[in-house]
Homo-oligomer: A and B are copies of this chain.
Amino acid sequence: MRYAVLGTGMVGQGLATKLVSLGHEVTMGSRRAGNEKAVAWASATGEGGAEGSFADAAGSAEVVMNATAGMASLDALALAGAENLAGKVLIDVSNPLDFSQGMPPTLSVCNADSVGEQIQRAYPDARVVKAFNTVNFEVMVNPSIIPGSHTLFMGGDDDDAKITVRNLAVSFGWTAAGVVDLGDITAARAMEMYVVMWLRLFGIAGTPHVNVKVMQATS
């Protein structure tokens, strides 16, 4: 499969490297082709990895992963271009963390809206799935770092797109049952607001390799 990974940070690099290791063709997208980190990543990766602008990356891909910072995601996707996103599965991994007011960060959007919903509204022809934003970038692509079964949340309006995401997660090492579908794209509110809890857990656990497992009574 041909993937675009938008963003050159730790999340983007972790996802892109994992995808190449699984045999996919990956183009890492950034604001301008030739981004130093993207070039270094692509050359270290060998044949499976390429780099380019956000539009280059999205245009070449069947599945687009948004791994840009949440506050910059709408700008990044505008550069990617609606025509390069239409009809595609667009996996939104971003979190709208606002560090401008100091620590702990606040969210630049929350409660009655979310970045996931903003993206779906801005690109109605894209098949947006919010996923992978509730875990650390290493756990994301290697869930066995945390012993035992634990949960990966996702949400989106397109059921087929969510099957794609579930299969991708399973290829990363998640169990199919561990991928919890929270429903439509408004679930992005819950998933983005949950990150405030995750940041507290990170703080007290002393490791970013911390997650939750959903548990329920048998009915």
Contacts and interface: CB of A to CB of B under 8 A. Distances in A.
Contacts of A46: none
Given A110-B111, A181-B204, A213 B216 contact: no
B217 A147 contact: yes
A147 B218 contact: yes
A146 interface: yes
A145 B110 CA distance: 32
B212 A151 contact: yes
A106 interface: yes
Contacts of A151: 212
Interface stretch (A67-75, A167-175, A195-203): A195-203
Nearest to A151: B212
Given A211-B215, A212-B214, A217-B147, A190 B200 contact: yes
B214 A187 contact: no
A210 interface: yes
A197 B106 CA distance: 17
B186 A204 contact: no
Q: Which of A183, A193, A206 has the most CB of B within 10 A?
A: A193
Nearest to A144: B217
A136 to B, nearest CB: 10
Contacts of A206: 219
Interface in A103-158: 104, 106-107, 110-112, 145-148, 150-151, 153, 155
Interface of A: 101, 104, 106-107, 110-112, 145-148, 150-151, 153, 155, 180-183, 186-187, 189-191, 193-194, 196-197, 199-201, 203-207, 209-219
Given A151-B212, A182-B197, A207-B217, 18 more contacts: A106-B112, A110-B111, A110-B193, A146-B215, A146-B216, A148-B215, A155-B200, A181-B204, A182-B204, A190-B197, A193-B196, A205-B214, A205-B216, A206-B219, A207-B216, A210-B214, A210-B215, A213-B213
